[in-house]
Amino acid sequence: MNKQTVNNSHDLEVYKMAFDAAMKIFELSKNFPLSERFALNDSGMEESPSNIPLSQQLRCSSRCVCTNLAGAWYKLLDETAFISKLNDCMSWVAQTQILLEFAVECNYLDAVKAKEVDETYNLIEDTFISMIDNSDEWIIASNINN
Domains and their CATH numbers in the chain: 11-28+53-138 (1.20.1440.60)
68 within 8 A of 88, measured Cβ to Cβ? yes
22 within 8 A of 93, measured Cβ to Cβ? no
| The pLDDT of residue 44 | 44
Q: What is the CA radius of gyration of the chain?
A: 18
| The pLDDT of residue 94 | 98
21 within 8 A of 121, measured Cβ to Cβ? yes
| The pLDDT of residue 2 | 47
**Which one-letter DSSP state was computed for residue 6?**
-
| The pLDDT of residue 141 | 76
pLDDT per residue as tens digits for the range 7-46: 889 999 999 999 999 999 999 999 998 878 776 554 444 5
39 within 8 A of 52, measured Cβ to Cβ? yes
Which of 70, 81, 67 lies closest to 142 in space, CA to CA?
81
pLDDT per residue as tens digits for the range 73-122: 999 999 999 999 999 999 999 999 999 999 999 999 999 999 999 999 99
